[in-house]
Amino acid sequence: MALPALFDKLRLPVVGAPQFIIANPELVIAQCKGGIVGSFPALNARPQATLDDWLHRIRDELAAYDEAHPEAPSAPYAVNQIVHKSNDRLDADVALCVKHKVPIVITSLGARREVNDAIHSYGGIVLHDIINIEFAKKALDKGADGLIAVAAGAGGHAGGLSPFALVAELREFFDGPLLVSGAIATGAGILGALAMGADLDYIGSAFIATTEANAPQAYKHMNVDSDAGDIIYSNLF
């Protein structure tokens, strides 16, 4: 199945993962100008009214960039919504996504049909992150347009399955937009994910070291200096 037309503007098949605290308008705008989907969690905009300001800024700066660079327009952007019941901002944040017609909404920690319907009301698409087949089927049943396979090595709400196994099992019943994450940080990694059956790569930690990322310099250097042996799983937050 072909990807939705809004992905035609991508210069690399990559979505920048919405990282808590790290992702901000500066990073999202830079990612989109660079030809990949930039994203941020709605909860990074604090207080809640700040989200309206962020969406105005991202829309206006990307529109100005596109006007100045018609030969290489910016990629679309995405907003991540935590749809768990503990998020008391969800309704207000989704309403702002509808107001600004956010092209892509990434949903996490549960699947809510009413959220998907709201995004579909203006033609937006919903990508839902999952760590196993059970959650994938629930997300599709609730109306998600695409899936993000959060596999071993991924940051945030990480999964423990091999990306090879997870992607292969997802492709047995789903031929729609499929992203995969988990320690992808190079061109070879991007190509490998496509070879295993994904449509797009979902990359987060590699962007922590960027100038635009909202992270202390020591944390940025740590990400550059670390290797695979430094990846750990923890239930502490």
Predicted confidence (pLDDT) per residue in 92-119, tens digit: 999 999 999 999 999 999 899 999 999 9
In the chain, the percentage of residues whose pLDDT exceeds 70 is 99
Mean pLDDT of 22-34: 98
- Sheet of 14-16, strand order: 14-16, 200-203, 178-181, 146-150, 125-130, 104-108, 77-82, 38-41
pLDDT mean across residues, the chain: 95
Mean pLDDT of 149-176: 92
Distances (CA, A) of 146 to 17, 124, 232: 15, 12, 28
Predicted confidence (pLDDT) at residue 1 exceeds the cutoff of 80: no
pLDDT for position 153: 84
Predicted confidence (pLDDT) at residue 237 exceeds the cutoff of 70: no
Say if strands 146-150 and 104-108 run parallel, antiparallel, or are unpaired: unpaired
Query: Long-range contacts for 158-164 (Cβ within 8 Å, ≥24 apart)?
Result: 158/131, 158/182, 158/233, 159/130, 159/131, 159/132, 160/131, 160/233, 161/131, 161/132, 163/193, 163/196, 164/196
Which of residues 73 and 227 earns the better pLDDT score? 73
- pTM recorded for the entire structure: 0.95
Q: What is the pLDDT of residues 142-153, one digit of tens each?
A: 999 999 999 988
Q: What is the pLDDT of residues 47-76, one digit of tens each?
A: 999 999 999 999 999 999 999 999 999 999
Q: What is the pLDDT of residues 187-214, one digit of tens each?
A: 999 999 999 999 999 999 999 999 999 9
